Amino acid sequence: MIRIRSVSSWLLAAAIGAAEASCSRRVEERAAAIPAARPEDALVVTTITPARPGGSIVVGSLAEPKSFNPIVGSETSSTEVTYRIFDNLVELDCAESAYRPGLAKSWDLSPDGLRWTFHLRRGVAWADGAPFMADDVLFTFRAIYDSATASPDRDDLTSGGKPFRVTKADDHTVVIETARTFGPMLHVLATSAEIVPRHVWEASLAEGRMAEALGIDTPPDKVFGTGPFRLEKRETGRTVLVRNTRYWKFDQNGTRLPYFDRVLFVNTGDSNGWRLKFDAGEVDNYLVRPEEVDEMRARSGAGGYRVVDLGPRLGTIHFWLNQNPGRDAKGNPFVDPRKSSWFRDLRFRRAVSGAIDRDAIVQTVYRGYAVPIRGPISPGDPRWYNPEVPAQPYEPDRSRALLSEMGFRDRNGDGFLEDQAGTPVAFTFHTNAGNPVWINIGHLIESDLAAVGVRATLAPIDFNALVTTIRETYRYEGCLLSIASSGDPASGTNVWLSGGASHEFNPRQESPATEWEREVDSLVAASLSTADYPERKRLFDRVQVLFAENLGFIYLVSDEIHLAIRDRFVNLRPGRLRAFHNVLWNEDEIAVREPR
């Protein structure tokens, strides 16, 4: 059924003609112009099968890249492009879940934990031939901390409220000093500090125009880094990256990576468009929706592709009741005091959690391709998940018992409970109106709670309005939302800490309102002040247990990630840690399969 560009191939073959000859001429010209020397500290990748260079891959995307500036860009559509153009000091191996040397070939930490010394690779060159040096690292940090740039990465790169002190010992040694011991240093360097070339952008930073630099209107020959690819051309709907002939990684045969000649990003509009393009053979990857998994698996043989199951994603979908006891400017409480007292009663939250049938959500909304979760970290996170966290069982009878214990009865025979004063046990909860999956989950929650006598009403609202409500006005009763995880809980301190802005159910407390939140605060502080992973894990395990037991957030499910990828690629090492890059994160190592 799948004819990969059958008619198109015939039509275009007629039109290609002499274009083929001119094409090969172009590649040759480029190759001849740049004699690239092998760097002194080149990296030889041993975990892959050596292959022959050539071929290209077309990657589907759901939006246009907004910018090629890794310091300013935060959206997936932009970062998936900059990820292939720029490198970090440290790399994150998504398949092994480990941090390995990037532009820094090694590093040391001083005994007091405050001074990191990074030894940079020698002989690495930028794509235009200029040498990569410590000054580039210093420049990058200056740009990130620059107030005119207002980079979102800045907050990740602070410790004890202060930015790092970044200096150089010599041209290939960078020293980073922190105010306090900073455990997640490797993680933030691997995910938030892409190194940009000083000699190209120093002037922009000096003029205060760093945020506009490396935009989509920048000439492509200025958009490059030390990464495996550089920008060849960009237009609406399509971004083309071409091989960086000066890349510093090699395979065991001495062939310089990457193998691909080109990586193309195509904006497919919406999921339907993406799926159809994938079926037509126009793109090579596809993020499979849960209802499509079985169908696509059945057709994978004929279609020449594979469906890769990556397990549960790193994020969680959860629900919470507003426990904020505050008042607004006019003195009105955010939540009706009567309901507020219910929400702050652990029995009520346990009743709500026990009434929700997470398996039904998994089966109905995700067609079986999700897992119920117990705590804030999903089982898909191999480094931080604590399997000892107590489960959240489906026990509606116990919920009814708890509600009865709180004094709720159905006093008027309408099937729903009322309290002693006759107030109906009812509340409204919000979710993102633009996300039909969450709306479906919300409906199931409504049904489940109705079965135990609680009248919950779902009121989907526009995303911007939702964020304004939960972050500014605080006038709401419940909310159903999802949180993504970056792979290190240090990035989520705003969520764990009682004083954090993202501690949604009761944010920005001046002092912890409950014992368990006080304990969480001290555990998080302790975990941030050590760089020792086992110690951090131990502390954070306890944080997960506390969150699960006290149901500040009621955790529901994490959906599983399935990706479809064409059969003709080798050296794939699927990993879960980078959204949208899950199968292609090591694109510098992936190659087209040799025809047999």
Partner 1 sequence: MIAFVVRRLLRLVPILLAVSFLSMFIISLAPGDYLTALRADPQISQGTVERMRREFGLDRPWYVQYVLWLERAVLHGDLGESFSFRVPVSALIAERVANTLLLALTSSVFAWGIALPLGIAAGAYRDTWIDRLGSGIAFLGVSVPRVLLALLVLYVSVGSGLFPAGGMKSAATYDLLSPWGKALDVLWHLIPPAFVMGVSGLAEVTRQMRGHLLDVLGADFVRTARAKGLPERTVILRHAARNALNPLITLFGFTLARLLSTSLIVEVTMSWPGLGSLTLEAIRRQDLFVVMATLVMASVLLVIGNLVADVLLAASDPRIKAIA
Partner 2 sequence: MSDATELAVPTPGRARHANAAVPRTTPRALLCRRSAALSLAVLALLYGGALLAGFFAPYGMDSKHYREPHDYKYHPPMRLRFVDAGRFHARPFVYSSRLVDRGRALYQEDRAVIHRVRFFVRGERYPLLFGLGSWDRHLFGVDEPGRVFLLGTDLFGRDLLSRILYGARVSLSVGLVGIAITFAFGLAIGGAAGYFGGAVDDVLMRVAEVLMSLPALYLVIALAGVLPPTLSSTDRYLLIVFILSFVGWASISRVIRGMVLSVRESEFVLAARALGLPTARIIWRHVLPGTATYVVVAATMSVPFYILGEVALSYLGVGIREPQASWGLLLNDAQNVTVLRSFPWLLIPGVILFITVMAYNFLGDGLRDALDPRESRGGGL
Q: Closer to partner 1 at the Cβ: 109 or 579?
A: 579
Query: Which of partner 1, partner 2, none has residue 20 at its interface (CB below 5 to 8 Å by kind)?
Result: partner 1
Shortest distance (Å) from residue 320 CB to partner 1: 14
Question: Is 405 a residue that touches partner 1 (CB under 8 A)?
Answer: no
CA dist 562 and 287 (Å) reads: 6
x/- letters, 34..73, toward partner 1 (CB under 8 A) = ----------------------x-x----x--xx-x--x-
Encoded one letter per residue, x for contact with partner 1 by CB under 8 A and - for no contact, window 151-190 reads xx-xxx----------------------------------
Among 29, 112, 217, 510, binds partner 1 (CB under 8 A): 217
Whole-angstrom Cα distance, residue 547 to residue 496? 9
Residues 145-179, buried b or exposed e (16+ Cβ, 10 A)?
Answer: bbeebebebbebbebeeeebebebeeebebbbbbe
User: To the nearest whole angstrom, how small is the minimum distance from the Cβ of residue 326 to partner 1?
Assistant: 17
**What string of DSSP letters covers 530-558?**
---HHHHHHHHHHHHHHHHHHTSSEEEEE
Binding of partner 1 at residue 298 (CB under 8 A)? no
29 binds partner 1 per the rule CB under 8 A: no
Of partner 2, partner 1, none, which one sits near residue 323, judging by CB under 5 to 8 A according to partner kind? none
Query: What Rg do the C-alpha atoms of the chain give, in angstroms?
Result: 26
Q: Which is nearer to partner 1, 112 or 217 (CB)?
A: 217
- Contact between 215 and partner 1 per CB under 8 A: yes
Task: Give the nearer residue to partner 2 in terms of CB position, either 1 or 206.
Answer: 1
Given its phi and psi angles, is residue 325 left (phi above 0), alpha (psi -120 to 50 degrees) or beta? alpha
240 binds partner 1 (CB under 8 A): yes
Closest CA to 499 of 510, 513, 514: 510
Separation CA 117–CA 176 (nearest Å): 6
Does 264 participate in binding partner 1 (rule CB under 8 A)?
Answer: yes
- Residue 148 as a binder of partner 1 (CB under 8 A): the answer is yes
d(CA 442, CA 557): 13
Q: Name the residues that contact partner 2, by CB under 8 A.
A: 271-272, 275-276, 279, 289, 291-295, 298, 357, 360, 363-365, 367-368, 428, 430, 433-434, 436, 439-440, 443, 447, 458-462, 465-466, 469
Q: Is 346 in the site for partner 1 (CB under 8 A)?
A: no
Q: Minimum distance between the CB of residue 74 and partner 1, rounded to whole angstroms?
A: 7
- The answer to whether the Cα torsion of 223, 225, 227, 228 is positive or negative is positive
* CA dist list (Å): 60 to 141, 392, 452, 571: 32, 37, 45, 20
Q: Which among partner 2, partner 1, none contacts residue 440 (Cβ within 5 to 8 A by kind)?
A: partner 2
Only segment of 305-313, 385-393, 467-475, 584-592 that touches partner 1 (CB under 8 A): 467-475
Phi, psi for 145 (deg, rounded to 5): -80, -10
Nearest to 593 by CA among 284, 189, 140, 204: 284
Q: Which is nearer to partner 1, 121 or 154 (CB)?
A: 154
Distance CA 523, CA 7 (A): 63
Q: Are 541 and 280 in contact (CB under 8 A)?
A: no
Counting contacts by CB under 8 A, is residue 464 touching partner 1? yes
- Partner interacting with residue 27 (select from partner 2, partner 1, none; CB below 5-8 Å by kind): none
d(CA 485, CA 271): 23
Site for partner 1 contains 76 (CB under 8 A): no
Question: What minimum distance in Å lies between the beta carbon of 253 and partner 1?
Answer: 27
CB of 382 to partner 2, least distance (A): 26
Tokens of 145: 């901390």
Encode burial over 1-12: b for 16+ CB neighbours within 10 A, e otherwise: eeeeeeeeeeee
